[in-house]
């Protein structure tokens, strides 16, 4: 069976109800079923929905961005960073490859920088309001793009 292209609108809130991200006011988000383009805890319910259906989905950390891992927080010498000037809260990719981890600067003490490679939403329960706008068979080009993102 050919995977489907799911097109949906979403609003993501944290456990306190603060909006973290939304597609409302813009284009709906597309994803190819089973391609790993969105977190599994959201894709599973979307696959079960029909076009036009709206649903609230609560995703536990294990089905979202994972639990926080203490070993992904490390202190490194400032001169080993790939960027010259950093500030607390900034994020950067640790290398030129698209797959290189993105880290967040947590603290700066003299010549040492505390970096966190956990996803910013790791350890959080995610609250989605989703609307499946459309679901159709993915085209060959969409399947290729999903397998080999630029």
pLDDT range class, residue 144, cuts 50, 70, 90: confident
What would the mean pLDDT of 94-103 be, rounded to a whole number?
83
20 and 41 share a domain? yes
79 and 106 share a domain? yes
75 and 61 share a domain? no
Residue 126 in contact with residue 64, Cβ under 8 Å? Answer: yes
d(CA 38, CA 147): 13
Q: Which domain CATH number covers 52? A: 3.10.50.40
pLDDT range class, residue 150, cuts 50, 70, 90: low
Q: Which domain CATH number covers 78? A: 2.40.10.330
What is the tally of structural domains in the chain? 2
d(CA 9, CA 129): 8
Q: How confident is the prediction for the chain on average, in pLDDT?
A: 93
Q: Which of 3, 58, 79, 77 is nearest to 34 (CA)?
A: 3
Rg, Å, the chain Cα set = 18
DSSP notation for 7-18: EEEEEEE-TT--
pLDDT range class, residue 74, cuts 50, 70, 90: very high
pLDDT at position 96: 83
Domain span at residue 90 reads: 70-116
109 and 136 share a domain? no
């Amino acid at each position: 069976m050919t995977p489907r292209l799911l097109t949906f609108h979403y609003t993501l809130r944290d456990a306190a109800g603060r909006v973290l991200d939304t597609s409302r006011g813009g284009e709906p988000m597309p994803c190819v079923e089973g391609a790993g383009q969105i977190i599994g805890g959201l894709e599973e319910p979307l696959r079960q929905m029909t076009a036009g259906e709206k649903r609230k989905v609560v995703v536990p950390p294990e089905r979202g961005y994972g639990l926080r891992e203490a070993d992904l927080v490390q202190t490194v010498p400032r001169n080993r960073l790939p960027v010259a000037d950093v500030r607390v809260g900034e994020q950067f990719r640790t290398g030129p490859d698209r797959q290189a981890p993105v880290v967040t600067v947590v603290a700066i003490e003299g010549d040492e920088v505390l970096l966190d490679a956990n996803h910013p939403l790791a350890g959080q329960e995610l609250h989605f309001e989703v609307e499946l706008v459309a679901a159709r068979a993915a085209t060959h080009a969409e399947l290729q793009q999903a397998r080999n993102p630029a």
